[in-house]
Structure 1
Amino acid sequence: MATAEITPAPVREAPSPGSADVTVTDPALVRRAVKAAALGNAMEWFDFGVYSYIAVTLGKVFFPSGSPTVQLLSTFGAFAAAFLVRPLGGLVFGPLGDRVGRQKILALTMIMMAAGTFAIGLIPSYGSIGVGAPLLLLAARLVQGFSTGGEYAGASTFIAEYAPDKRRGFLGSWLEFGTLAGYIGGAGLVTLMTALLSSDDLLSWGWRIPFLIAGPMGIVGLYLRMRLEETPAFAAEARNTGNTGNSGNTGKSGKSGKSGTERPKVPLREMVAGQWRALLLCVGLVLVFNVTDYMLLSYMPSYLTSELKYDETHGLLVVLAVMALMMVVQPFAGALTDRVGRRPVIAAGCAGFLFLSVPALLLIRQGSLLAIGLGMGALGLLLVCFTASMPSALPALFPTRVRYGSLSIGFNVSVSLFGGTTPLVVTALIGATGNLMMPAYYMMAAAVIGGFAVWRMTESAGRPLPGSAPSVAPR
């Protein structure tokens, strides 16, 4: 009868033949992994928060035009362009993460994200260099988009592979806690600057400050990620293939140093064709997650200001308050997914957006502070159903051998086609139809697609990741 071998994380030795390997997690390493992964996500969304909340000003700086709508469309066009190269980044970083390790790729994406954001703060205005300004902005956004192609899939995989099976939902929820913290940091800074600086100062130099802050943030994030060890699941997978890595201190025994192990290249066909069902589910889940996410956190500030003519500062404060509420609820919702499962929580979010998007937007359109707060708050709590579930549900769709690569491909294709383009598409739909209810209809359509994906997905709460050994917390 097979015996159970209990090994501490990160796994160092290959299990003996015939044994059932069980990983006992190290709480200190798990905390470090969660912090480093969440900080990278915060860095990514700090930039998105700044870009979204200062979009009107950026339109004036980089896209001079007599029409505010054209300026906003141009700014969101540059915003959306970054999402068009995300699948390319996923195709590069995802397979590399399955080959050389999650930790190394996450360190690289952190460097690139910080560099791209910092560069935006150095670009001269259209008035200084003409058409070169929007072209440089586009180039910086493309660097950001390429790097983020490997960020979310890698960070969620990293946490999922470190977390005990029964706490994966709770620990994974801190990844999106980092998203909200980054967004609040970026949006809060823009709100503060909007309140303290004159319009001329904000247009002249103030808009650069949030982007320049990305430099120091990137250095801190890189330091934290360089101190991480490779995940137990990846180390075990690499051992099982019989290939140790290039860390410089590996030997015949199969041991590896801190930098981890390396595996043979996995064919792209195996990541796509071999995982086609899981990829379709991933695209559907990410679609409803990101359409609603970008609608609420990226588009609504500009919707309140440009379409409803609401006071800019008050509109920003309302959205910040909603995100703060989401941060409070986030860890509890993540723990809930460990108890009742990911599927019921995600299904509740889909049903909520299907039936409550129109009432919520009608409340927002009333224009009073209370009505806007109630409408936005309702949408924010529904969004928590996704932010608390997806970081643990999505990595569980794929086996360890192709997890980073397949998740990167599915996630980024969906984000690029549906999530990142949400502000641009909805702005264009409103411009073409004059119907200010378009945001609600768009979220309802996404909820239908997401609901079908939930119906077809398998519950993963409390179970080992596919292709990985059971993972338990120490007693």
Structure 2
Amino acid sequence: MTLAAPNPAQHRSLTRNDTRTLVLASLGGALEFYDFIIYVFFAAAIGKVFFPADMPGWLEQLNTYGIFAAGYLARPLGGVIMAHFGDKSGRKRMFTLSVFLMALPTLIIGLMPTFATIGYAAPVLLLVMRLLQGAAIGGEAPGAWVFVSEHVPANRVGLACGLLTGGLTGGILLGSLMNTAINYSYTPAEVVDWAWRIPFVVGGIFGFIAMYLRRWLHETPVFEAMRARKATAELPLKHVLNSHGGSVIVSMLVTWLLTAAIVVMILLTPGLLGRLNGIPATVTSVASICATLTLTVSAIVCGALMDRFGAVVVAVIGGIALIASSYWLYIGTAANPANMAALSALCGATVGMITVVPFVMVRAFPGVVRFTGVSFSYNVAYAIFGGLTPIAVTQMLGYDKLGPVHYVAFTAVVGVLAVIANALRGTNRVSAPLAAE
């Protein structure tokens, strides 16, 4: 695809409209990701009220987490469908629709009757709502990265990706804080009886507020230019698979790094270290919040650094730091559990290098199929690796207490090599302003 010559206007400071776009997009991303993950924080209570009281504990847990996993399985289909229309009819429409598709089922979960009222219809309805959430999140992250990247000048794409990524990880932080607040404010019996509903109702309401705020966003200049030239692809996914296989492979490999860093180091590690070292849940919860907080800040910083030094430099240094801090967290906590919170915060800061992932992906595909290329690569890879990672890590843990870190280190090497290989491919899209296509 031929690109126009770089436009000097694309190398400028952020305007007031740029800032508003980034803030609203990041806020919406945080609220939507909160809605998606809040389920896992209250899975124990959900299992007790949505399944028969006489169901064996292991089966109840299996069903509860099975419904949670169903959201991940719905991500690729929802993401590809929304991306198709995002490349055909506009980024903004899909960007707003994804919030609605997340807010509605989240609110319904918070209000719906349980097994005691409607029997087996309750878990079936819960599954349907979880599938809708999965479809929504499948379009949110890729759509948001594309949306903000196409709005800002070329020399601020890293910052835009960083702010959005920080918003998404901020949703995990909001979930952790809500979980802590509910469990400190109510007894376990009250949580199971009714207080588990509060996070879902709050998430649904704020989701609708985020949807309303997104009404004030404008379509991206890149899509407006494409629409003016009538330069949309008839079947975006077919075009991606036929003409951009290399970009798909690179994007899936860097997404593998992202899933390992988030799933293992942020979501699984607090619990794993707690069990391995006999650390109370109150301590691991604080460590989890510390890691997520530093991750959120670091994602923004890493994005700004990429605008200055490029993706390769940040990926290489960040990858080395991620590997070192991950080993330090596991070894240091085993030596002295009192160090867990501080070491978790340090590790969370290095996980912020995952901002490299959207930065590379949005530049790997041309505007005409960018949404579809990013969404397909990211969601398929996340569905595969996100589902297999907990299983792989659990198996490795049986042979080596550092097994989870070995896994993260391997994916970090693979991801960094993919970033370097992508740079060596020498495609014009990697360095050209996104809005110049």
Provide TM-score, normalisation by structure 2: 0.88
Per the alignment, residue 42 of structure 1 pairs with 30
Provide Cα deviations, 1:22-68, integer angstroms capped at 9, x if missing partner.
65677122122212221221123212442233333334444568876
Q: 5 Å matches for 1:60-459?
A: 60-62=48-50, 71-241=60-230, 263=232, 265-304=234-273, 309-366=278-335, 368=337, 370-387=338-355, 389-419=356-386, 421-423=388-390, 426-427=393-394, 433=398, 436-458=401-423
Give, in whole Å, the separation in 1 of the partners of 2:391 and 2:110.
23
User: Is the Cα contact below 8 Å between 2:36 and 2:134 reproduced in 1?
Assistant: no
Give, in whole Å, the separation in 2 of the partners of 1:73 and 1:365.
30
Letter in 2 for 1:344: V
Give, in whole Å, the separation in 2 of the partners of 1:67 and 1:436.
30
**Structure 2: 5+ residue runs without aligned partners?**
none
Give, in whole Å, the separation in 2 of the partners of 1:20 and 1:210.
47
User: Is the Cα contact below 8 Å between 1:167 and 1:462 reproduced in 2?
Assistant: no
CA displacement at 1:359 relative to structure 2: 3.6
User: Is the Cα contact below 8 Å between 2:363 and 2:429 reproduced in 1?
Assistant: no
Give, in whole Å, the separation in 2 of the partners of 1:19 and 1:444.
40
Give, in whole Å, the separation in 2 of the partners of 1:164 and 1:338.
11
Give, in whole Å, the separation in 2 of the partners of 1:65 and 1:443.
39
Give, in whole Å, the separation in 1 of the partners of 2:15 and 2:56.
55
Identity over aligned pairs, percent = 29
CA separation of 1:420 and 1:106: change in aligned 2, threshold 3 A: farther
Give, in whole Å, the separation in 1 of the partners of 2:237 and 2:290.
43
Letter in 1 for 2:252: V
**More helix per residue:** 2
Letter in 2 for 1:201: E
* Partner of residue 20 from structure 2, selected from 27, 32, 36: 32
SS for the counterpart of 2:378 is helix
User: Is the Cα contact below 8 Å between 2:87 and 2:369 reproduced in 1?
Assistant: yes
User: Is the Cα contact below 8 Å between 1:44 and 1:182 reproduced in 2?
Assistant: yes
User: Is the Cα contact below 8 Å between 2:294 and 2:346 reproduced in 1?
Assistant: no
Provide Cα deviations, 1:94-145, integer angstroms capped at 9, x if missing partner.
1110111100111111100111222221343445444433322221111011
Give, in whole Å, the separation in 2 of the partners of 1:124 and 1:206.
14
CA displacement at 1:291 relative to structure 2: 1.9
User: Is the Cα contact below 8 Å between 1:310 and 1:367 reproduced in 2?
Assistant: no
Give, in whole Å, the separation in 1 of the partners of 2:41 and 2:282.
10
CA displacement at 1:152 relative to structure 2: 0.9
CA separation of 1:50 and 1:329: change in aligned 2, threshold 3 A: same
Give, in whole Å, the separation in 1 of the partners of 2:121 and 2:188.
24
**Structure 1: 5+ residue runs without aligned partners?**
1-17, 243-262, 471-475
CA displacement at 1:203 relative to structure 2: 1.2
Letter in 1 for 2:151: Y
Structure whose alpha-carbon radius of gyration is higher: 1
Give, in whole Å, the separation in 2 of the partners of 1:57 and 1:439.
28
Q: 5 Å matches for 1:455-474?
A: 455-458=420-423, 463-465=431-433, 468-469=435-436
CA separation of 1:69 and 1:454: change in aligned 2, threshold 3 A: farther
Q: Between 46-55 and 332-341, report the one with greater CA deviation.
A: 46-55
Per the alignment, residue 44 of structure 2 pairs with 56
Letter in 2 for 1:157: V
User: Is the Cα contact below 8 Å between 1:80 and 1:424 reproduced in 2?
Assistant: no
Give, in whole Å, the separation in 2 of the partners of 1:73 and 1:353.
32
Provide Cα deviations, 1:77-102, integer angstroms capped at 9, x if missing partner.
32222111111112211111011110
Give, in whole Å, the separation in 1 of the partners of 2:298 and 2:7.
35
Give, in whole Å, the separation in 2 of the partners of 1:377 and 1:204.
34
CA separation of 1:74 and 1:313: change in aligned 2, threshold 3 A: farther
Give, in whole Å, the separation in 2 of the partners of 1:264 and 1:342.
29
User: Is the Cα contact below 8 Å between 1:36 and 1:225 reproduced in 2?
Assistant: yes
CA displacement at 1:314 relative to structure 2: 2.5
CA displacement at 1:363 relative to structure 2: 2.8
Q: How many pairs are equivalent?
A: 428
